């Protein structure tokens, strides 16, 4: 017997405003064709003025609670992955806690940029497996539109806003790879690569800052490291590419998604792709894709799902879940 963190609900929220690629043609030397061809992105959502990360996160959380048939106060722990919190403190997670009417649990943010959701999921699993929590709400939510340099065509056309949420609950499994729930996790980071992707400001440097990225270099690291971490996570539980029903990758660039799937040995018919509609929503991209994948009937109970992500840090990782 082994305690497992089993998925009970999933949900997402996207801000109302949809921005097609063509919008950027008005202010930048770019084109719909270039953005589509080089990234696979066709549109993205941007939060309204005054709409914050915790607003998006709370709506995604409520959708996940509804699917799980739970009330806000049923939750023992809330982990919110974000690099764009409403305030320096308190955590955006405590704002979500209040919004869903939870007073009995504990809430905190996790910051691992685009890898934030796999970090949060791994921590949620650890809380459940160690007996510290029974029901955990895990959220990825971002408003990257707030940290864009609108004069930099190499970055501002790539990112979007949104939120996705997952509810995990403790259940007893047999302890083998046929169990439902989180089966394995693999987390990595390497601070030597800070300059490839960062925000050039923050609390301690006294300005908000804007996102800076060496896109080509990130691309190179991404394919290599994503395939490796997904493979490692699968190997930890005696599984391989042939066992995978769905890869749910971080949605940064369709070319990264395709190259990683090829390296892993998984055909694109087994990959959930949302990058065309959401752009890169950083920590929100995986829970958004999980929620869309479930809603459109791709991901079903019992399926073996592998999530993988990489971003600023560099920080990267993968989680294997039997849905
Ligand atoms: O979330 C995790 C972190 N992020 C990522 O995973 C993103 C990783 N990187 C990428 O997705 C890609 O590198 C980009 C989409 C950012 C760029 O694609 P690329 O194929 O690596 O293009 P490039 O950077 O080599 O740029 C090719 C050309 C350049 O012009 P020159 O120097 O060849 O004359 C750029 O200046 O395209 C130019 N360019 C653009 N042209 C039109 C860059 N951005 C744009 C643009 N519109 N928006």
Question: pLDDT digits over 61-96, tens only?
Answer: 999 999 999 999 999 999 999 999 999 999 999 999
Question: Average pLDDT in the 127-146 region?
Answer: 98
Which residue, by CA, sits nearest to atom 3 of ligand 1? 311
What CA–CA distances, in Å, run from 70 to 66, 67, 99? 6, 8, 15
The verdict on the CB of residue 254 being under 6 Å from ligand 1 is: no
Task: Tell me the fold of 181-322.
Answer: Peroxisomal Thiolase; Chain A, domain 1 (3.40.47)
The verdict on the CB of residue 154 being under 6 Å from ligand 1 is: yes
Work out the mean pLDDT of the chain and round it to a whole number: 97
Which residue, by CA, sits nearest to atom 30 of ligand 1? 154
Reported as half-sphere exposure (CB side, CA atoms, 13 A), residue 25 has a value of 11
Which residue, by CA, sits nearest to atom 7 of ligand 1? 215
Domain range summary for the chain, segments of one domain joined by +: 2-173, 181-322
Which residue, by CA, sits nearest to atom 43 of ligand 1? 154
The verdict on the CB of residue 30 being under 6 Å from ligand 1 is: yes
pLDDT of 314: 98
CB-CB contact of 261 with 247 (8 Å)? yes
Of 12, 45, 221, 250, which one is the catalytic site residue? 250
CATH assignment, 2-173:
3.40.47.10
Of 45, 102, 114, 221, which one is the catalytic site residue? 114
**What is the percentage of the chain residues whose pLDDT exceeds 70?**
100
Q: Residue 287 — very low, low, confident or very high, per pLDDT cuts 50/70/90? A: very high
Q: Is 45 a catalytic residue?
A: no
Q: Could you read off the pLDDT of 6-20 as tens digits, one per residue? A: 999 999 999 999 999
Q: Residue 142 — very low, low, confident or very high, per pLDDT cuts 50/70/90? A: very high
- Stronger pLDDT, 264 or 207, i.e. the higher one: 264
Q: Is 156 a catalytic residue?
A: no
Q: Residue 206 — very low, low, confident or very high, per pLDDT cuts 50/70/90? A: confident
Of 21, 123, 253, 280, which one is the catalytic site residue? 280
Interval between CA 214 and ligand 1 midpoint (Å) = 9
Interval between CA 165 and ligand 1 midpoint (Å) = 30
Q: Does 2-173 match 181-322 in CATH topology?
A: yes
Question: Average pLDDT in the 247-251 region?
Answer: 98
Ligand 1 probe mutation, 28, 37, 82, 215, most atoms within 8 A of CB: 215
pTM of the model: 0.97
Q: Could you read off the pLDDT of 43-53 as tens digits, one per residue? A: 999 999 999 99
pLDDT of 260: 97
Q: What are 230's two structure tokens?
A: 């997904």
Interval between CA 212 and ligand 1 midpoint (Å) = 12
The verdict on the CB of residue 112 being under 6 Å from ligand 1 is: no
């Amino acid at each position: 017997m082994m305690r497992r963190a089993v998925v009970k609900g999933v949900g997402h929220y996207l801000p109302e405003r949809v921005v097609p690629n063509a919008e950027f043609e008005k202010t930048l030397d770019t084109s719909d064709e270039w953005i589509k061809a080089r990234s696979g992105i066709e549109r993205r959502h941007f939060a309204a003025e005054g709409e914050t990360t915790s607003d998006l996160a709370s709506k995604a959380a409520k959708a996940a609670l509804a699917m799980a048939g739970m009330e806000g106060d049923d939750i023992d722990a809330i982990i919110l992955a974000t690099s764009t919190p409403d305030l320096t403190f308190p955590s955006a997670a405590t704002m979500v806690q209040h919004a869903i009417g939870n007073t009995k649990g504990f809430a905190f943010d996790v910051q691992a940029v685009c890898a934030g959701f796999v970090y949060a999921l791994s921590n949620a699993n650890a809380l459940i497996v160690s007996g510290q929590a029974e029901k955990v709400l895990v959220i990825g939510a971002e408003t990257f539109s707030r940290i864009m340099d609108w004069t930099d065509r190499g970055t501002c056309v790539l990112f979007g806003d949104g939120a996705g949420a997952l509810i995990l609950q403790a259940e007893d499994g047999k302890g083998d790879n046929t169990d439902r729930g989180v089966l394995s996790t693999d987390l990595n980071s390497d601070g030597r690569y800070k300059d490839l992707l960062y925000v050039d400001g923050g609390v301690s440097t006294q300005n908000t800052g804007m996102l800076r990225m060496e896109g080509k270099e990130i691309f190179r690291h991404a394919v290599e490291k994503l395939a490796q971490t997904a493979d490692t996570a699968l190997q930890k539980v005696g599984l391989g590419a042939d066992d995978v029903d769905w890869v749910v990758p971080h949605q940064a660039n369709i070319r990264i998604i395709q190259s990683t799937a090829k390296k892993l040995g998984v055909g694109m018919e087994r990959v959930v792709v949302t990058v065309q509609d959401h752009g890169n929503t950083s920590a929100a991209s995986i829970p958004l894709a999980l929620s869309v994948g479930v809603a459109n009937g791709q991901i079903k109970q019992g399926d073996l799902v592998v999530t993988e992500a990489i971003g600023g840090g560099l920080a990267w990782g993968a989680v294997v879940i039997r849905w």
